[in-house]
Amino acid sequence: MKDEPEQPVHEIEKRNIEILRWRGEVNRETQGDFAVLSQPLNLPCGVQLKNRLIKAAMSDSLGDGEGNATKTQMRLYERWADGGAALSLIGEAQTSQFFPETPGNLVLTPDANLVALKALAARGSSNGAHIWPQLGHAGALSHAPISQAKGPSPLNLEGLQCEGMTLADIGTLPEAYAKAAVLAKEAGFGGVQIHAGQGFLFSQFLSPLFNHRTDGYGGTVSARFRVIEEVIDAVRSAVGTGYPIGVKINSTDKLVGDLS
């Protein structure tokens, strides 16, 4: 069998290896383990990320308070792109103005400022990088001063109260996520991530502690996953087959009796 040609070592990888070598944690054998970080990643939809460095979604609270992108936010994502990341995820871009995680979240609804979103997408895509909004809904953890929190089931605990969603409420979610994804695509973002982690709405649906429903959206794991599946299907139909859709799910909620 012919040997594969050697991959060029990316500058970032060289720097990482130097740091680890300095700490005595890398040698000639382990160096190869890091080479993969600089290699492109081909997504199943056909899009390629230029390397394996992804800036995880972090809610930045840099929106203007009305759900729109700001110059400070544009600068932040441009810096990450210039730093060499293949993809930066914008944490907590909301699919409705009524259930945000904080007032500084972006809100991707039809009345969003498209000019500002386009500028954010363009600057966050510098240096061949991707920037994707993480499409969210805070559910039971919606920011109380500006929301009437609603989760999969009603809760009345100290510091955590919410109403339970009706079937009609759940029925609005696929279209809201699909519309937000179409807006993201129109604005020039390279893909979207559906937020089903970190304790927010879809994470709550997955969680037996938050989800006590006895209808088709609660009970078994597949019933608790059902709304997420419906949202993925709606988003995929709306954006087409060639557009990246990621889903973030916790591997564990670190609570007794919760998802793990």
Ligand X SMILES: Cc1cc2nc3c(=O)[nH]c(=O)nc-3n(C[C@H](O)[C@H](O)[C@H](O)COP(=O)(O)O)c2cc1C
Residues within the interface to ligand X (CB under 6 A): 56-59, 91-92, 134, 195, 197-198, 248
Minimum distance from residue 216 beta carbon to ligand X (Å): 26
Which of helix, strand or coil describes residue 97?
Answer: coil
Which of helix, strand or coil describes residue 171?
Answer: helix
User: Closer to ligand X at the Cβ: 91 or 213?
Assistant: 91
Sequence-ordered list of residues with C-beta below 8 angstroms from that of 108, at least 6 positions apart, any chain: 67, 93, 94, 95, 117, 133, 135, 179, 180, 183, 184
Minimum distance from residue 138 beta carbon to ligand X (Å): 10
- Distance CA(151)–CA(141), nearest Å, equals 8
User: Closer to ligand X at the Cβ: 153 or 198?
Assistant: 198
Minimum distance from residue 36 beta carbon to ligand X (Å): 17
User: Closer to ligand X at the Cβ: 10 or 195?
Assistant: 195
Q: At how many degrees (to 10) do helices 28-35 and 11-22 cross?
A: 140
Minimum distance from residue 93 beta carbon to ligand X (Å): 9
Minimum distance from residue 90 beta carbon to ligand X (Å): 8
- Distance CA(208)–CA(259), nearest Å, equals 7
User: Closer to ligand X at the Cβ: 17 or 194?
Assistant: 194
Which of helix, strand or coil describes residue 150?
Answer: strand
User: Closer to ligand X at the Cβ: 199 or 213?
Assistant: 199
Q: At how many degrees (to 10) do helices 167-187 and 114-124 cross?
A: 60
Minimum distance from residue 56 beta carbon to ligand X (Å): 3
Minimum distance from residue 72 beta carbon to ligand X (Å): 16
Phi, psi torsion values for 13, nearest 5 degrees: -65, -40
| Position with the least CB separation from ligand X | 91
User: Closer to ligand X at the Cβ: 105 or 211?
Assistant: 105
User: Closer to ligand X at the Cβ: 125 or 198?
Assistant: 198
Minimum distance from residue 136 beta carbon to ligand X (Å): 7
User: Closer to ligand X at the Cβ: 54 or 223?
Assistant: 54
Amino acid at 38: S
- Distance CA(96)–CA(105), nearest Å, equals 11
| Tokens encoding 42 | 């081909």
Closest CA to 139 of 213, 68, 245, 190: 213
Give the CA count within 13 Å in the CB-facing half-sphere of 91. Answer: 17
